[in-house]
Amino acid sequence: MGLPAVLVRKLGQMGITDPTPIQSHAIPHALNGHDVMGLAQTGTGKTAAFGLPLIAEMMEADDRPLPKAATSLILAPTRELANQIRDTLLPLVKDTPMKINVVVGGASIGPQIKRLEKGTHILVATPGRLLDLIDRRALRLDATRFLVLDEADQMLDMGFIHALRKIAALLAKERQTMLFSATMPKQMEEIAGSYLVNPKRVQVSPPGKAADKVSQAVHFIAKAEKPNLLIELLGAHKGELALVFGRTKHGSDKLARKLESAGFKVAAIHGNKSQGQRERALKAFRDGEVKVLVATDVAARGLDIPDVKHVYNFDLPNVPENYIHRIGRTARAGKDGAAIAFCAPDEMGELKDIQKVMGLSIPIASGRAWEELPDPKAKSNGGGGRGRGRPGGPGGGASAGKGPRRRRGGGGGAGRGKAA
């Protein structure tokens, strides 16, 4: 593919001999100096797709970075993804003079400033902390020759649009830029226009497509019954790693405590946890000391833990694309995985949006589809809006669930079949 022999040898030592589709499409364009816009689902090897040509270009130039400058900058939306990018690239620069630094929020800024004083070859950063360092005159971007925006759509979801505009204005005009994303929301065109010049577009799977080896299913269940169902399903595979997604920080902590009291080894990560707490929880999960990790969408991207066998959407996400990113945490590196969604009456709107984005109907594991009702408040204001739900009935477009129906704890919802 035109990569330096030393890099090819390092890949061989890591057991990597064949490129993934996104790598085989993107790397040649990048090595030829083109800007690249890459669209690919999570878990397809995007980090190496931009990391390999970036390292190759800097090996060839063999320049020392200027003080307080970064020769190349990789922007990532979350601390976890930033750390993972560093961990993926470090083996590729081993035994070379190249320095890789990471700057993220939630960690002390003093040591980060110190590490940047002599300059760095590859800087991996979250947008907020990057701007903090620039404001403190600890970092300059006018000498940055290579730029990567990884998971750019999530940066938009997390409200980084204004930060990205500020960063764009500080960068050198003469540079090579690569943008990678799993989905292509409308605002992405503005970002692409600000950062990229005549980019080569590389797309290896349609936006909204989940990994092929993920089996999906949905349980229609009353909100109050969700914890009991989760405990039952987790109990069927206690020895396997499971990632459980909640919507709120408080709700995730509460659910983690409930699972712990039910006998599961569990940890929780979300935005209120310190960087140290998040790293310890992820390490325990990756090492198998903790079998269940409860997380908000802060963990929906960038977590490369190949042994995650099950993903549970305990709460359906408000942003439909986040469902795809969540379930992309399983079936990684060619392995199989299962994604189970719980849908309460007030989540039918979210489920419909998810299915629309994915272009498919998620198979029903138990219960019956809730019938969406107009929201009385929205109606009085002259709008339609999403409403509450009730169990579907004849004429209501309901689908029959598998197995016998049953009720639990007086929850007024659809019953569940036997856990698959």
Question: What is the full DSSP assignment across 76-88?
Answer: -SSHHHHHHHHHH
Report yes or no on 300 lying in a domain.
Answer: yes
> Virtual CA dihedral for 105, 108, 114, 115, nearest 10 degrees?
-50
Report yes or no on 209 lying in a domain.
Answer: no
Q: How confident is the model at residue 324, as a pLDDT?
A: 82
Cα–Cα nearest to 75, from 103, 41, 34: 103
Report yes or no on 32 lying in a domain.
Answer: yes
Could you give the CA distance from residue 142 to residue 116 in angstroms, rounded to a whole number? 15
What CATH number has the domain bearing residue 332? 3.40.50.300
pLDDT along the chain (420 residues), means of 10: 91 88 94 92 82 94 91 92 92 92 93 96 96 96 94 82 90 92 77 89 67 82 96 93 92 94 93 81 90 83 75 92 81 71 95 90 91 54 46 39 36 37
Q: How confident is the model at residue 52, as a pLDDT?
A: 96
Cα–Cα nearest to 39, from 53, 22, 52: 22
> Virtual CA dihedral for 345, 347, 349, 351, nearest 10 degrees?
-110
Of all helices (H) and strands (E), which one includes residue 355? helix 348-358
Could you give the CA distance from residue 342 to residue 222 in angstroms, rounded to a whole number? 9
Report yes or no on 363 lying in a domain.
Answer: yes
Q: How confident is the model at residue 286, as a pLDDT?
A: 87
Query: What SS3 state is found at 340?
Result: strand
Q: How confident is the model at residue 55, as a pLDDT?
A: 96
Q: Which of 155, 184, 203 is the last residue of a domain?
A: 203
Residue-wise pLDDT for 164-184, tens only, equals: 989 988 998 899 999 998 777
Q: Which of 158, 174, 203 is the last residue of a domain?
A: 203
CA distances (Å), 296 to each of 11, 320, 371, in order? 33, 14, 27
123: which strand partners? Answer: 73, 101
Query: What SS3 state is found at 25?
Result: helix
Is the same domain home to 12 and 145? yes
Report yes or no on 377 lying in a domain.
Answer: yes
Report yes or no on 414 lying in a domain.
Answer: no
Is the same domain home to 263 and 189? no
Sign of the CA dihedral with 306 first, then 311, 317, and 323 last: positive
Is the same domain home to 352 and 312? yes
Residue-wise pLDDT for 314-329, tens only, equals: 999 988 878 887 887 7
Is the same domain home to 188 and 261? no
Could you give the CA distance from residue 269 to residue 297 in angstroms, rounded to a whole number? 10
Q: Are 337 and 215 in contact (CB under 8 A)?
A: yes
The number of domains in the chain is: 2
Cα–Cα nearest to 72, from 23, 8, 141, 14: 141
Q: How confident is the model at residue 32, as a pLDDT?
A: 95
Is the same domain home to 149 and 82? yes
Q: How confident is the model at residue 136, as a pLDDT?
A: 96
Tokens of 272: 């209120």
Q: How confident is the model at residue 299, as a pLDDT?
A: 60
Helices and strands (H, E) in the chain, number of each type:
15, 16
Is the same domain home to 195 and 224? no
Is the same domain home to 234 and 188? no
Is the same domain home to 158 and 249? no
Report yes or no on 184 lying in a domain.
Answer: yes
Report yes or no on 239 lying in a domain.
Answer: yes
Q: How confident is the model at residue 219, as a pLDDT?
A: 96
Could you give the CA distance from residue 130 to residue 104 in angstroms, rounded to a whole number? 8
| DSSP code of residue 211 | P
Pairing of strands 146-149, 70-75: parallel
Is the same domain home to 46 and 178? yes
Is the same domain home to 196 and 218? no
Domain range holding 17? 5-203
Could you give the CA distance from residue 382 to residue 379 in angstroms, rounded to a whole number? 5
Q: How confident is the model at residue 405, as a pLDDT?
A: 36
Is the same domain home to 34 and 168? yes
> Virtual CA dihedral for 257, 314, 321, 123, nearest 10 degrees?
20
Q: Which of 170, 203, 236 is the last residue of a domain?
A: 203
Could you give the CA distance from residue 131 to residue 137 in angstroms, rounded to a whole number? 10
Q: Between 109-116 and 127-135, two packed helices, what is the crossing angle to 10 degrees?
A: 70
Tokens of 303: 């977590």
Is the same domain home to 192 and 225? no
| Exposed / middle / buried, residue 114 (Cβ in 10 Å: 0-12, 13-18, 19+) | exposed
Could you give the CA distance from residue 302 to residue 126 in angstroms, rounded to a whole number? 13
